[in-house]
Amino acid sequence: MDLASHRFMSYFEPLQAAHLCQIAVLESFAEETLVFEEGDPADFLYLVLAGEVEFSKRIENNKYQAIAVAGPDDFFGELGVLDGEPRSARAVAFAGSTLAKICREELIATLELAKGRSVLQMFNFIIKNLRDTTDQYVSQFVHKQKMVLVGEMVSTIIHDFKSPFTGIKLSSEMLKEMHPDQETQEWCELIQLQVQRMLGMAEEVLEFSRGNSVLNKKPVNLIQTLQQFEKLNKVYFYVAKVDLMMEVTEVIVEADENKILRVLQNLVGNAVEAFGGRGGRVEIIVTQSEEWAEISIYDNGPGIPQAIKEKLFEPFVTYGKRTGTGLGTAIAKSIIDAHKGEITYDSEKNKGTTFYIRLPKNLAVG
């Protein structure tokens, strides 16, 4: 946007606004750039003309907690400019952002000559901004506390379940020895796989609550991964009356296979729940381009409700479910992000949903 049309300029008389435009310094950022650090002197007011600026507070272990984001037509840094105190937060401009900065001394001199109406309008904006920032900070704090509780709960579950899971595993191994026929062997192997899978799922929720996704990457053939997924869910799909169709190109990716299985399970599991016991169809197609393995997961369910579309990949977002934590799609996205991949979706009411996943290929192998 043009500097003269920025809302901040509307607070002043034409001559004053023209003077501020003249003394303002424009800065554009081709990559993510630190604008100022928490505790720095408040020497400029900043007007956002393009892109976005994120504000964060320093927390434990030199990490930062995001508290707010400013976009075009917003301005920031006004509190330090007005009271002379150091910056209370860190500001980082995203790639593609353009800012106009106005020197503190020049701005104060202009404000001293401004009419009361101009000052009142600016302070109304500042108060609104403070309210919005407070709301975002409280929301972030509540989210963090929820994740801490999830982590504590899952740690307890993992600890308590290890003993019965060990018993189940040993019992299935004894059954394998007592009954060497192929059918019993296959069912016992499935039991052991499912027990291991349950522990793995709990561990992944624990990792997510701690904000890290540890990957055990190796060359993975997606044909074999999908075959394993089908084997693990054969009974589940039968009971839920779900037809699974797969069309898979042989693609090798550098990935953590267990976590990719977790992504498939979360997305397909959501589709099965959306069928509501009426049955349905799920199609998984794997293709490839020069650099990417591409997985599409389609279901002919009712589609994703409009109420949660914009926040689908955020934690604790759920709609119309009697069970579930609202973590499934958030964990799926965190896993794909950890693989440096991409996940998007299309959904239409009563026509179904398709998730699109892109994973970097292992070019050295393929």
β partners of residue 82: none
Q: Are strands 352-360 and 97-103 parallel, antiparallel or unpaired?
A: unpaired
Is 126 within a domain? no
Q: Quick count: other Cβ atoms within 10 Å of Cβ 264?
A: 23
Taking every pair of C-alpha atoms in the chain, what is the biggest distance, in angstroms? Answer: 94
Is 261 within a domain? yes
CATH number for the domain harbouring residue 199: 1.10.287
Q: What is the pLDDT of residue 96?
A: 94
Is 97 within a domain? yes
Q: What is the pLDDT of residue 90?
A: 92
* Mean pLDDT per 10-residue section of the chain, whose length is 366 residues: 91 88 95 93 94 86 78 88 86 95 90 70 68 63 65 68 76 84 83 74 67 79 91 87 90 90 89 86 91 92 82 66 64 88 90 92 54
Is 204 within a domain? yes
Pair 287, 350 in one domain = yes
Pair 200, 268 in one domain = no
CATH number for the domain harbouring residue 88: 2.60.120.10
Is 120 within a domain? no
Is 343 within a domain? yes
Pair 343, 263 in one domain = yes
Six token digits for residue 247 = 């069309």
Q: Which of 33, 34, 89, 43 is nearest to 66 (CA)?
A: 89
Pair 284, 339 in one domain = yes
Pair 147, 266 in one domain = no
Six token digits for residue 186 = 């296959």
Domains contained in the chain, number = 3
Pair 97, 50 in one domain = yes
Query: Where among 188, 209, 230 does a domain terminate?
Result: 209
Question: For the residues of 196-254, what is the DSSP string, one character each?
Answer: HHHHHHHHHHHHHHTT------EEEEHHHHHHHHHHHHHHHHHHHTEEEEEEE---EEE
pTM above 0.85, yes or no: no
Q: Where are the alpha helices (DSSP H) in the chain?
A: 14-23, 78-83, 104-113, 116-178, 182-209, 222-240, 257-275, 328-338
The rounded distance, in Å, linking the Cα atoms of 51 and 30 is 11
Pair 291, 187 in one domain = no
Query: Where among 114, 133, 168 does a domain terminate?
Result: 114
The rounded distance, in Å, linking the Cα atoms of 126 and 96 is 25
Pair 204, 246 in one domain = no
Six token digits for residue 74 = 């917003």
Q: Which of 81, 9, 16, 90 is nearest to 49 (CA)?
A: 9
Domain ranges, residue 309: 218-360
Is 242 within a domain? yes
Is 240 within a domain? yes
Pair 284, 248 in one domain = yes
Q: What is the pLDDT of residue 338?
A: 87
Query: Where among 96, 114, 132 does a domain terminate?
Result: 114
Q: What is the pLDDT of residue 341?
A: 92
The rounded distance, in Å, linking the Cα atoms of 317 and 329 is 9
Sequence-ordered list of residues with C-beta below 8 angstroms from that of 6, at least 6 positions apart, any chain: 47, 49, 73, 75, 100
Question: For the residues of 102-133, what is the DSSP string, one character each?
Answer: EEHHHHHHHHHHS-HHHHHHHHHHHHHHHHHH
Pair 265, 240 in one domain = yes
Pair 152, 282 in one domain = no
